[in-house]
Amino acid sequence: MRLTPKFLIGLGLLVVIGYFLTDLVFNDNQYAVRLRKTRQEKNDAFRRVDGSPLSQEQRDTFDSLRYFAPNPDYRVEAQLEVYTRPDTVRMALTDGKAENYLRWGRASFQLNQQPQQLTLFLKADGQDSTLFVPFTDKTNGFTSYGGGRYLDAALPPAGATELALDFNEAYNPYCAYNDAYACPVPPTDNRLPIAIEAGEKEFHDHADHAAGDKE
């Protein structure tokens, strides 16, 4: 069979497309493996005495935290707006007190084919090296903790215009596990009007928890 230039070009395109799709699937699989490893490490940490928010009674029956399945659709590249003069706000805590945070910037992105935005905060004491993103969504009180969840994001370099947000890494505050903790309450400007079916689910104690979806 004679190989024409058009045939060779078409074959080359198929190879390139196949490589791209294989790489995409491979990367997503590797991402899911890494995410599950991180979740397992968190489970292990919760079983230990030091640093765990669980009481001894809770640890005696603890099996696993519950999560939504990893979903790449909930990894977004948000448009970043950094405030030139961030103001200090008093963020309410669940015990009625408050902590000082800087309203550092804003992340704008698309989810569920709708524009969304979240305010980015930074601890006012200058001790944190990551941005703090507390938020609520339509899963709260149903499949996720009723008081909302948190995201952390690395501080971007100066002049950055985008910020990666991965809702698969959304986690519960410590007060979701134990009433002895006081946790920041997500402010009204971070109430997302959609369901974020990604990240950590609601925590269940004892037998109900052990039978839950570990993911």
The secondary structure element, H or E, covering residue 154 is strand 149-154
* Bridge pairing between strands 88-92 and 98-111: antiparallel
**Cα 201 to Cα 204: distance, rounded to the nearest angstrom:** 9
Beta bridge partners of 184: 93
Higher pLDDT, 209 or 145: 145
| Bigger pLDDT: 2 vs 77 | 77
In this prediction, residue 128 carries a pLDDT of 84
User: Is pLDDT of 8 > 50?
Assistant: no
pLDDT interval class at 4 (50, 70, 90): low
Q: What is the pLDDT of residue 129?
A: 85
pLDDT bin (cut points 50, 70, 90) of residue 84 is very high
Of the pLDDT bands very low, low, confident and very high (cuts 50, 70, 90), residue 215 is: low
Torsional sign, CA 208, 209, 210, 212 = positive
Span 123-150, pLDDT tens digits: 998 888 899 999 999 999 999 999 999 9
Average pLDDT over every residue of 99-114 = 96
Q: Could you give the 3-state DSSP secondary structure of residue 175?
A: helix
Please list the alpha-helical segments (H only) found in the chain. Answer: 5-47, 56-61, 206-210
